[in-house]
Structure 1
Amino acid sequence: MRRVDVLVVGAGLAGLRTAGLLARRGLDVLLVDRRRSLSAGIRTTGIFVRRTLDDFDLPDRLLGPGIRDVLLYPPSRRAPVRLTSDRDEYRVADMAGVYEHARHAAEEAGAQVLLGVRYTATTRSAGGGAGRRAVWLAGAEPVMARFVVGADGARSRVASDLGLDVNRRFLVGAEIVHPIAPGRGAPAFHCVLDPRIAPGYLGWVVDDGRHAHVGVAGYPEAMRSGVRHLLEVFAEDAPGHAPPTGPVERRGGPIPVGGVLRRLACPAGLLVGDAAGAVSPLTAGGLDPCLRMSELAATVTAEWLRTGDEGVLRQYDGNALRARFRGRLLLRRAFAGLRSPAAVEAAVAGLRGRAGRGLAARVLFGDGSFPDVPLKPALTPGR
């Protein structure tokens, strides 16, 4: 049975980044994912916001053109509210390429990545502490790991096995992605607020001049005809949607919107990414928080394995982050309550005034979609 310091479960952006950061700290890291290819089963639209692009080194060749225009449509689709930034606010990434780039970085740092290997279970240790635990895998031999990082998505099996909190509140989304003919003008982000197709959230078309991303998301209990059917209906006449010029790819999956979970870590492991609920409750964006929280997760993990001090694990505290999400969680509840098209029509009309446009611009263009995750002085790398 192989022995490792850390087993990371899930090769999404959070898992790959955490594995690479831990390997750079000299730990023996194994990352497993049940997919046989990182280009399979992509669930995210791949929209990176300006703050992420400013703070993290993402390869320019994997990013589409900058997007400055956002159009907000009421259910009638008439007279959208147009918001234009003086800076590039969004860029849509080739996520298969981003994953491969992150995998290469993790392997270069010393982590081993095994695809086609499914996590099955972790054997709990009665004694607690930083001792090794047996982890069972389908497609590979079991391993003895000192610590397990759950990066296995919104419905995390690792979270359940370790007795950590699990996501309870979800949107469910579906999206089609396809190439479009060039030369259609400036890239734009079209958002349709219509509870008939996206109850509690929105439908979107992101045209970055190269590809179109067309999707819908909403609360599953209100999507009575099913998210795939609603996507097909929406895509037929979605604003800004150009016809495909190549193969169409389908994506989809659950999006946790209950905020960062409270209990994220224990002596046996911790959670990152969607498994941790690290998604903005209001905007449902998860790429920025998964990168921000991964650094703290890697620092806490390395320090815990070095010292065995359980006080270190308390630094990875979901309660502290949830306190900074109160306003966005309240707005999420208000958004979820808009089930009448007439009410949404009135709400969008309210965004046409100066105050409304300012609020919309703050949500869409502001720097506060996800708070910084501070490193306390005792845990700052190099100390």
Structure 2
Amino acid sequence: MDTVDVLVVGAGLAGLTTARLLAEAGLDVAVCERRTSLETGIRTTGIFVRRTLEDYDLPHLGPAVRRVLLYPPSHERPVELVSDRDEFRVGDMEGVYAAAVEEAERAGARVNLNSSYPARSTRARFTIGADGARSTVAKNLGLDVNRQLITGIEEVYPVSTGSTPTFHCVVDPRLAPGYIAWVIDDGEHAHVGLAGRADRFTAPLPQLLQRFRDSFPAPEPAGPVKRRGGPIPVGGLLRRIVSPQGLLVGDAAGAVSPLTAGGLDPCMRMSELAASVTFDYLRSGNKYVLEHYDGAAMRRRYLLRSQLRRGLSLVRSPSVAEFAFTLLRSAPGRAAAKQILFN
């Protein structure tokens, strides 16, 4: 039986980043991933925000997006927000994952695709769960699991519009109850999708997505269409995310903004902390080191966004959404929207 210092379960951005950092620190690290190819089963749109772009050198990113348009259900009189800085870039996640695998393996980690967990052939001193919103590692280690989820679907395709890169956000509870529908057109690719509370969808997701495409002027595909989607945790960071046997990172830990459902920036930052705590714990054997990875304490950063998430969930009818846009069009409303989207 193969014995390693750390077994990382899940080869997403959080898992691969954590594995690379631990391998660079000199630990024996293996990554197991149940998918046979990282090109399949992608669940994130891949939106990287300015804070991430400033702090990390990331490959395979599209053109900068500085313009956001917020639409009510009627699509009339959208609220336009424009920044003087590069606020978003959308990553080619297939390329991002491939580069992350290469970096992890260069550092000495072994990345095994088509590998299930628990793995009978591998024993680990410590297990890191990076296996998504419905984490099996969390259940096996007796850690908290995500309870508050939204479900999304998205189509991605190349475009040749030459238009200004724009992030279109549509608030319509008939299509995306408790969240938004979106079109992100950066001039190279278009991401057309929607997400919301599964218990409030009025039709199957592919049907709702087609309805959205028919009602919104999305760019026409200039190549093959790829479809992705899955569950997104929006309950905020989980309280109990570490034990002497292992810890959770990324979606498995609920490290996703409850309001915007953005998880790439917190997943990378939590991966750095997770790698540091794991290394110190395995080196010292002192379980009190694990207290530095306190989900309950870090959860406080999400309180305001959690409250705003509850407010968004209360928008159940188009008339309420239309009324909310009268507030968004005011100076304070626009300032608040800019603060949420750009900061």
* Global fold match (TM > 0.5): yes
Aligned to 1:249: 226
Q: What's 1:369 paired with?
A: none
Q: Identity of paired residues, percent?
A: 60
Indicate the residue corresponding to 2:197 in structure 1: 219
For 1:107-148, what per-residue CA distance to the aligned partner results, in whole angstroms no more than 9, with x for missing partners?
0100000001111x3xxxxxxxxxxxxxxx2xxx52110000
Instruction: Give the match for residue 178 of structure 1.
Output: 157
Once the two structures are TM-superposed, the CA of residue 325 in structure 1 deviates from its matched residue by: 1.3
**CA apart distance, 1:87:** 0.7
Question: Is the 2:161–2:219 Cα contact (8 Å) retained in structure 1?
Answer: no
1:44 counterpart residue number = 44
Alignment of 1:89-128 (within 5 A): 89-119=87-117, 121=118
Q: How does 1:355-374 map to 2 (within 5 A)?
A: 355-366=332-343
Give the corresponding residue for 1:229. 207
> TM-score scaled to structure 1, two decimals?
0.88
- How large is the RMSD of aligned CA atoms in angstroms? 0.8
Where does residue 320 of structure 1 map in the other structure? 297
Range moving further from structure 2, 317-326 or 274-283: 317-326
1:191 aligns with 2:189: no
Structure 2 counterpart of 1:22, one-letter code: L
Shift of 1:319: 0.9
SS of the counterpart of 1:297?
A: helix
Runs of 4 or more consecutive aligned structure 1 residues displaced over 2 Å after TM superposition: none
Note the 1:1-383 alignment, pairs <5 A: 1-59=1-59, 62-119=60-117, 121=118, 137=119, 142-183=121-162, 185-239=163-217, 241-366=218-343
| Partners of 1:322 and 1:265 in 2: CA distance | 14
The separation in 2 between residues aligned to 1:203 and 1:22, in whole angstroms, is 38
Unpaired segments ≥5 residues, structure 1: 122-136, 367-383
In structure 2, C-alpha distance between the alignment counterparts of 1:208 and 1:345, rounded to whole Å: 27
**Cα displacement (A) at 1:237:** 2.7
Q: Which runs of 5+ in 2 are unaligned?
A: none
Q: How does the TM-score come out when normalised to structure 2?
A: 0.99
Distance in 2 of aligned mates of 1:161 and 1:336? 31
Question: What residue identity is the alignment partner of 1:331?
Answer: L
C-alpha separation between the residues in 1 aligned to 2:298 and 2:326? 33
Shift of 1:228: 2.1
How far apart, CA to CA, are the structure 2 residues paired with 1:211 and 1:144? 42
Going by fraction, where is helix more abundant, 1 or 2?
Answer: 2
Q: CA deviation at 1:225?
A: 1.1
**Superposition deviation, residue 227 in structure 1:** 2.0
Deviation at 1:320, TM superposition (A): 1.1
Deviation at 1:238, TM superposition (A): 1.9
Counterpart Cα distance in 2 of 1:149 and 1:235: 39
Task: Measure the CA separation in 2 of the matches of 1:228 and 1:300.
Answer: 42
For the residue of structure 2 that corresponds to 1:314, the secondary structure is: helix
Aligned-partner residue type, residue 98 of structure 1:
V
Q: What is the distance in 1 between the residues matched to 2:165 and 2:327?
A: 26
Instruction: Look up the equivalent residue of 1:189 and give its one-letter code.
Output: F
